[in-house]
Amino acid sequence: MNVLAVNGGSSSLKFSVFRVDGGEPVFVNGDALDVERDADTALARVLARIEGPVDAVGHRLVFGGPHYDAPVRASDAVLRDLEQLVAIEPLHLPAELDLVYAAMRALPHAPNVLCFDTAFHRRAPAIAHRLPLPGDLDPMLQRYGFHGLSYEYIASKLPPDAGRTIVAHLGSGASLCAMRNGEPIDTTMGFTALGGLMMGTRPGDLDPGVVLRLLADGYDAVALNELFYHRSGLLGVSGTTGDMRTLMAAAQHDAAAREAVDLFVYQLVKMLGSMIAVLGGLDTLVFTGGIGEHAEAIRERALAQLAYTGAFTTAVIATDENLMIARHTLAQLG
């Protein structure tokens, strides 16, 4: 059996093909392509690079809401339900759903399995999902967490007695996840993928009063969406780019670039402290994601500021969301 894992992001489409013969999926080939506006064209480009048949397709979906706490096979009813969630996660979910529809058209006999980034966090304690808002509001208003497939993969690489662990998934999107023996306890992202840490183009946590002020200044929902998803974070502070590599190279001579990097590290350390408090200490700190894996200087600065916490193990582990997608797809197929 050949399983295609489709991982659509905000700027790229990653795919992997896994061959399965009664055991763990074995990677065959894969790549990252620039995002195409048209999902059918994007999927056609992927399929053109695959040799042999595709027997099943697994998809990463960023958001599954409160009801999808595990992967599920795609159906008309499920897809109609997920279409109602697009307003909550407009950056990724529309394009990801388009890829599901494209796969159903291109490969009508291959089952499609939907794997949700929010599902891993549904196992966290109920208190971690609660927002301090009146209970008579829309029950959808709660904390969800994201990057769940990445965290689930990292958890699978930890020893059973890993203890109090924080995983820092640092990339163009960034978040932290506190785990105890591989089980999620809390995470920095909340209702949407805008919250928590400062990111490439997203601001992370903001005082709600900032939103009220912007509304008073004439911003509407469309303008706020553009500001918070595409013009904030590292890009907003630096005024030039949301790419950490570029900013670190420019920081020596560019004050705005230096400020963006400094603010990222400051927020990272502050939120690591909050996760340590939730766990009651720290045994293991894992870095993953593009910045987490490759920006050694960022890791070193953060670790230097955590020296007061005492001894803990540090690791850098390359994440593999696509392998998790393939595993989930096989489990759903029985």
Asked if 276 contacts 166 with a C-beta cutoff of 8 angstroms, the reply is yes
Per-residue tokens: 162: 């890993």
Q: Mind listing the pLDDT tens digit for each residue in 100-137?
A: 999 999 999 999 999 999 999 999 999 999 999 999 99
Query: Distance between CA 153 and CA 236 in Å, rounded?
Result: 31
Task: Name the band, by pLDDT with cuts 50, 70 and 90, for residue 12.
Answer: confident
Residues 28-45, mean pLDDT to the nearest whole number: 86
pLDDT at 10: 60
Q: Mind listing the pLDDT tens digit for each residue in 320-334?
A: 999 999 999 999 997
Instruction: Tell me which H or E stretch contains 152.
Output: helix 148-157
Q: Is the pLDDT of residue 152 over 70?
A: yes
Instruction: Report the mean per-residue pLDDT for the chain.
Output: 95
pLDDT at 8: 84
Q: Is the pLDDT of residue 275 over 90?
A: yes
Q: Work out the angle at residue 30's Cα, subtended by the Cα atoms of residues 18 and 115, and round it to the nearest 5 degrees.
A: 60
Catalytic positions are: 117
Q: What percent of the chain has pLDDT over 90?
A: 88
Of 25-29, 35-39, 77-81, 169-173, the one with minimum mean pLDDT is 35-39
Q: Is the pLDDT of residue 161 over 80?
A: yes
pLDDT at 11: 63
Query: Distance between CA 11 and CA 43 in Å, rounded?
Result: 15
| Burial grade of 259 (CB within 10 A; 0-12, 13-18, 19 or more) | middle
Backbone torsions φ then ψ of 169, nearest 5 degrees = -90, 100
Q: Most distant CA pair in the chain: distance in Å?
A: 60
Beta strands in 132-271 (DSSP E): 164-170, 174-180, 183-187
For the chain, list the domains and their CATH numbers: 2-116 (3.30.420.40), 159-316 (3.30.420.40)
pLDDT at 234: 98
Asked if 257 contacts 251 with a C-beta cutoff of 8 angstroms, the reply is yes
